[in-house]
């Protein structure tokens, strides 16, 4: 079994406002293996940021257990915090100073080794000699600098909370490449996000949460392997073909002029069945499940309730 970098067990966080109580985390069990990029996914308000804040000691859990590198936290945080870099809350940089000068100040505060500033700038692809002040940085450069600040300690675990929020497509793509490179370099990256296409491209494994509980977890390919795929058919008479296929026991929906047949349908069998009825298929494609369709199946149609039969 691979080493777990992050573990939570039955983690609860209840926020109180006046007489109202709200369980942001409702018994969350999380297991993040060492190495690569692990996606931490969930709809808005599902408890992702709360989890990260608890792990980093920025808030206290109501109950439950948490471990970082096998050490109980928050009690053991001083022993392991040196191995963790995080961008969970927007770091405060001095607007009039360059990225390098800002990192220099931070490096002294955290006691980073000599050369750490240059190494971090190189890692995130920011120019060592650039004198642009932080105030004039683009959103993408600010995010790179934030990640560089988390890399100063040369961490084994890097926690990033929605690192592409507010970036344009080019910025999103460059941060995605950076995250992938970091994951390949041996750092374990926990990437909280709800941009699922992005996550599918960079994450080796994911945990999906809804309403403060784990809905599904595992390598992306394993999760998608279990998800239902569909076959898209174009036929001359879609209404007749739909009726016929439904009578034969298939679940069929319309997609414009095409039909979507649920399940790993045998294409040869489908086309033969239809051809025998004079319903000739002019186009057939297998629609592969995406992380997005899997995620929506868990958090949308099932209303994000793990007790309604979602995988876990």
Ligand X SMILES: Nc1ncnc2c1ncn2[C@@H]1O[C@H](COP(=O)(O)OP(=O)(O)OP(=O)(O)O)[C@@H](O)[C@H]1O
Contacts with ligand X by CB under 6 A lie at 15, 22, 24, 42, 44-50, 194
Nearer to ligand X, 12 or 250 (CB): 12
* Shortest reach from residue 308's CB to ligand X, in Å: 19
Nearer to ligand X, 45 or 91 (CB): 45
Nearer to ligand X, 153 or 213 (CB): 213
Query: What are the backbone angles phi and psi of residue 112, rounded to the nearest 5°?
Result: -70, 150
Nearest C-alpha neighbor of 190 from the set 77, 62, 49:
49
Sequence-distant (≥ 6) Cβ neighbours of residue 170 within 8 angstroms: 140
Answer whether 69's CB lies under 8 Å from 57's CB: no
Q: Where would I find the H helices in 56-138?
A: 77-80, 99-110, 116-124
* Shortest reach from residue 226's CB to ligand X, in Å: 24
Tokens of 111: 């006691």
* Shortest reach from residue 157's CB to ligand X, in Å: 19
Nearer to ligand X, 42 or 265 (CB): 42
Nearer to ligand X, 40 or 244 (CB): 40
Answer whether 4's CB lies under 8 Å from 70's CB: yes
* Shortest reach from residue 209's CB to ligand X, in Å: 7
Sequence-distant (≥ 6) Cβ neighbours of residue 21 within 8 angstroms: 14, 15
* Shortest reach from residue 156's CB to ligand X, in Å: 24
Sheet containing 188-193, strands listed edge to edge, beginning at the edge strand earlier in sequence = 84-87, 157-161, 188-193, 37-41, 205-210, 213-219
């Amino acid at each position: 079994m691979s080493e777990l970098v992050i573990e939570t067990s039955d983690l609860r966080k209840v926020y109180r406002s006046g007489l109202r109580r709200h369980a942001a985390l409702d018994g969350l069990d999380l297991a993040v293996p060492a190495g690569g990029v692990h996606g931490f996914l969930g709809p808005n308000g599902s408890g992702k940021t709360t989890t990260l804040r608890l792990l980093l000691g920025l808030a206290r859990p109501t109950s439950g257990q948490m471990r970082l590198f096998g050490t109980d936290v928050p009690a053991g945080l001083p022993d392991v915090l040196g191995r963790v870099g995080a961008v969970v809350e927007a770091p405060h940089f001095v607007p009039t100073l360059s990225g390098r000068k800002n990192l220099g100040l931070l490096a002294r505060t955290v006691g980073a080794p000599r050369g750490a500033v240059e190494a971090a700038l190189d890692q995130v692809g920011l120019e060592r000699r650039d004198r642009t002040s932080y105030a004039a940085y683009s959103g993408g450069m600010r995010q790179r600098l934030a990640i560089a600040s988390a890399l100063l300690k040369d961490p084994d675990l890097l926690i990033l909370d929605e690192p592409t929020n507010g970036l344009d497509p080019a910025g999103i793509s460059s941060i995605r490449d950076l995250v992938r490179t970091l994951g390949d370099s041996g750092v374990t990256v926990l990437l909280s996000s709800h941009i699922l296409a992005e996550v599918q491209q960079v994450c080796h494994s994911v945990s999906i949460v809804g309403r403060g509980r784990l809905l599904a977890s595992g390598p992306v390919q394993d999760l998608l392997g279990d998800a239902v795929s569909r076959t898209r058919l174009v036929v001359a008479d879609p209404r007749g073909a739909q009726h016929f296929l439904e009578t034969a026991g298939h679940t069929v929906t319309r997609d414009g002029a095409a039909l979507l047949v649920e399940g790993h349908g045998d294409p040869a069998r489908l086309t033969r069945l239809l051809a025998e009825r004079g319903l000739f298929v002019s186009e057939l494609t297998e629609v592969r499940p995406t992380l997005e369709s899997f995620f929506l199946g868990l958090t949308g149609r099932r209303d994000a309730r793990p007790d309604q039969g979602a995988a876990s």
